[in-house]
Chain A
Amino acid sequence: MSDVMARTKTIELLVLRYRPLSDSEPVFATYQVPYSDDMSVLQALQSIKDTQDGTLSFRWSCRMAICGSCGMMINGDPSLACNTFIRDLAPHPVTIEPLRNFPIERDLVVTVGDFVKKIESIYPYIIPKAPKSIEDGEYLQTPAQMAAYESFSDCINCMLCYAACPQFGANPDFIGPGAMALLQRYNGDSRDGGQQARLDRIAGEDGVWSCTAVGVCSEVCPKQVDPANAINQNKTKSAFDFFLRFLRPGARP
C-alpha cells in the first residue's frame, strides 16, 4: 500500500457485513476512507481493517490479479478488488458485497468448496494419450496445438463468472463456466487422451446443456478466458458424442 502518496480525498464505502452467530441477516456498514488516486478497492478494505474496524473479514493475497482470492461484487458487478480502483468509482459511494450466487460464510467471505469440487470432478489433469518417460523428453506442441487450449489454461479460479451466471444462480449444481473452461483446457490439449471421460461427466442435466448461452461469464472474466466459448465447443462435441453412442457396440446414450 502506498504510504508515500498523500491521501487527500475521502470515499464512502458501503460494505455488506454478516457474522453467522450474531447476525440474523447481512446488513450494510458504512465507512469513510481517505484515498489517493492509486488506491484499489482492496487497499481501501485493508485500510478499514487496519485502522477502523478489525472485525471486517475478506480474502486477499497477491494484490496483482493472479491468485484469484479477492473476487467480490463492487457496485453490483463481479470484480477483483485488487485491480478495481477507487479513482474510477469516486466520488459516488461504493457498495461492496460478497460474490453473488454463493453462500456467505462471513462478511465478504463466501463458500469456495463446492466450486473446487466441480473442478475436481472433471478430471483436471493430463490423461496421457501416449505415455512417455522423462528420459524421452517433452511432448512436442506446435503453436497451433498450443493455441487450441492455451487461453483456457489462464483461468485463475476467481469465480467471477459464477457470480455473473444466471443459470448457476438458479441451479447451484450446474457445473458452471469456470469448470467448463478447465475441461476444455484439457480436452483441447494434444497431449491428452481423456476427452471421453470428461464429455461423459458433462452430458447430464447439470452439465453443459444447462447453459443458456447468456455469455456474461466471458464479459466479467478478468483474464479473457472466454468460458462461453469453451461451453459452446462442448455443446457441439457433446451433441456429436450423444449420437455417436448409438453407433458404438453395446453402448447406450
Chain B
Amino acid sequence: MEHFDADILILGAGGAGLRAAIAAAQSAPELTIALVSKVYPMRSHTVAAEGGSAGVVQSHDSLEDHFHDTVAGGDWLCEQDVVDYFVSRCAPEMVQLEHWGCPWSRKPDGHINVRAFGGMKIERTWFAADRSGFHILHTLFQTSIQFPSIRRFDEYFCVDLLTDDGRVQGAVMLSMSTGEFTAIHAPAIVIATGGAGRVYSQNTNGGIVTGDGMALAYRHGVPLRDMEFVQYHPTCMPGTGLLFTEACRGEGAFLLNKHGDRYLRDYGLGPAEPQPRNKFMELGPRDRLSQAFWHEERKGNTVTTPQGETVLLDLRHLGRAKIKERLPLISEMAEQFMGIDPAVAPIPVRPAVHYTMGGILVDINTASPLAGLFAAGECSSVGIHGANRLGSNSLAELSVFGRVAGEQAVAFAKAAGPARRSTQADAVEAKALALLHQKGEGERHAALRAEMAASMEKGCGIYRLSPEMRETCDTLAWLKRRLANVTLEDKSRAWNTDWVTAMELGFQLDVALAMAHSAEARTESRGAHQRLDGFEQRDDARFLRHSLAHYQGAAAPTIDYMPVKITRSPPGQRAYGALGEQEEAAREQTANQDTAHV
C-alpha cells in the first residue's frame, strides 16, 4: 500500500470540497492539502444544479427576510444562529465567485441579475442562465488549479476512515484506475461528498450521489441528523427523474393539471394571478408542490404518459427568446430527451427525489463530534435547511460552509500536529479485497440496489404510513444481509466498477436505514416528512427537535433527539399564498412594535 502524508484531507471535490480546499490553501499555503474525489472534480454533482444561489443584494431585500424565509421554509427545524451566519455570508461568497470568474447573468447595466425562487419573498437568486451549478463548479475547479499546495487524487474512491485516539487520522483510498490502495494520513478531514438521492429510484441525482461520506462518518460513530427529511423536487422528467429547474417557475412558468387548471390554487397557494408572485402558487416551496402533485394524482387529474403520471410545466407564454436566454439547458433537455419544444408545448413533469436535508451532524464551525472531522455541503447537517430546503440555498451553502470547513480544518491541523500512522489501513484493504474475492451465493448486487430504491419510494415517499415505513426498514435490513453474500462477477483490479458500486451500495444501505428509521420514529408531519396515519399535524411539543440516527453495526440504528436552536423566530404557522401574506404582515407588525419599544 502507498502512503501519503497530508495536513488536511478533503473527501469530495464538488463545490463544497473545492471551496474548502481553496480556503485552506489561501489561509495556510504551507500546509499540504490532499483533495480526493472518486471522479474528476468537474464531474461532481454540483455540475447539475441549475437554478442559482441565494444572496441578498437588492436594496428592498434584507438579511432578515432571507432568514425568515429559510426558517419558515424549514418548518422551524433550522438552527437559527447558523441561519443568521449563513444569510450574512451568502452575498460576499457570491461576489467572491464573481471575482474568480463565475459568469453570473447580468442586467443591461453590467450588474449582477437575480431571479425569483420558490419560498423566497424577494428575488435574491444569483444565476448563470440555468447552468449555475455547472459554472460554480468549473469556476472553483479552475481557480483551485493555481494553488500548488492542493494535491489532487482524482478517481480515488474512499473505502474507510482511519480513527485512533478519539480522533481522525486519515483514510484509505482505492485508486479506481489501478485497483491499488493508498492510505492518506492527515489530522484533519473535511467530508464534502454530497447527498444520497440515489437510494431512491426516481431521482435527479447523478450516479455518483451515493451517500459515501455520510456512511463513512456514521460508521465511525458520528450521528446522522434529520435524515427523514428528503426533498422531492416537483418538476422532474418522468422515468429518468432529470431536473427541470425551479427557475422555470421563477421566470414565470405555470403548473397545469390535465384540465389545464393551475391546480396549486386548491392547496393553499392561491390566488392564481397571471404574473408570478413570490411565495404564491408556482413559487411556493418544493415540499408543498410535491404534496399537491400526490393529491392531484389520486384525484385523477394528472396526465398519463408512457413513463407514468405527470402534470404540465407550461413555459409557452414566456416566449422563445426568454426561454433560450434564461433556460437554455432545460430547453435542450426537453428537446433531446422528450422531443418537446417548450416554446410550443408544455413539458410533462412529476416529483422526484432531489436532496437530502439531513446529514452528518456538525456545528456552526462545520465540526462533527469526532475530533478532526469536519463536513460541508449536502452531506452535512449544519442546520440551515430544517425540514425542507428552499431552492438556491444549497449552492450558497457549499460556498459559505465549504470555506468555513477549510479554515477550521487548517486551525485544527495546526493545533493537532501530524496524524499517527496505524496498522488499521491494512485491515481496511483486507476487508475491501475480501469483498472482491468472496464466493457468495451468486447474487448480483445490482438487483439489491433496485430493490432498495423501490422500497424507499414506497415507504419513505412524499406521504408516509407506519406499516410501509416498517416494511422498508425490514427490507433494507434484509438487503444488507444479502449484500454480505453477493458474488462479484469482476475479480480484476483495474477499473473494476463492479467492485466500487458494491461498496457504494453498502454505504447507500446504511444511509437508507438511517432515513427509514428516523422517518418511522417521527410521529408528526413537518416539512418534507408527511404522514397519513394519525400524525398529520406538526407537533412542536414532542418534535420541535432534531433526530439523530446512531449506527449500530448489523443491528438497526437507534434514534434519539437534540434540541433546535431558536434565537428569535418562535415556531409559527407556515403558510404561503394569501394566508402566508397575512402571516407575514402580522409578523412584520410585531417586529415593528418590538422595535418601537426599544
Contact = CB atoms under 8 A, between A and B. Distances in A.
A61 B206 contact: yes
Nearest to A22: B492
Contacts, number: 176
Contacts of A139: 98-99
A105 B177 contact: yes
A150 B103 contact: yes
Contact of B446 (A50, A58, A150, A153): A50
Contact of B45 (A2, A61, A126, A143): A61
A141 B95 CA distance: 13
A138 interface: yes
A167 interface: no
Contacts of B101: 125-126, 186, 189, 191-192
Contact of A145 (B39, B47, B110, B142): B110
A19 interface: yes
A161 interface: no
Contacts of A119: 142, 145
A134 B307 contact: no
A61 B207 CA distance: 5
Nearest to A39: B239
A143 B129 CA distance: 13
Nearest to A112: B40
A5 B308 CA distance: 8
A54 B446 CA distance: 9
Contact of B494 (A1, A105, A112, A153): A105
Most buried by A among B39, B101, B138, B201: B101
B100 interface: yes
A2 to B, nearest CB: 3
Most buried by B among A36, A53, A156: A156
A142 B48 CA distance: 27
A19 B493 CA distance: 10
Contacts of B242: 63-64
B47 A2 contact: no
B99 A134 contact: yes
Contact of A66 (B39, B134, B444, B488): B134
B141 to A, nearest CB: 9
A4 interface: yes
Given A63-B240, A68-B42, A83-B337, A153 B135 contact: yes
B95 A137 contact: yes
Contact of A128 (B99, B104, B208): B99
5 contacts: A55-B489, A62-B48, A116-B154, A143-B108, A157-B42
Interface of A: 1-5, 19-22, 36-38, 49-51, 53-55, 57-69, 83, 105-107, 109, 112-113, 116, 119-120, 123-126, 128, 132, 134, 137-143, 145-146, 149-150, 153-154, 156-157, 182, 186, 189, 191-192
Interface of B: 39-40, 42-45, 47-48, 92, 95-96, 98-101, 103-104, 106, 108-112, 131, 134-135, 138, 142-143, 145-146, 154, 177, 201, 206-208, 238-240, 242-243, 306-308, 329, 332-333, 336-337, 444, 446-447, 449-450, 488-490, 492-498
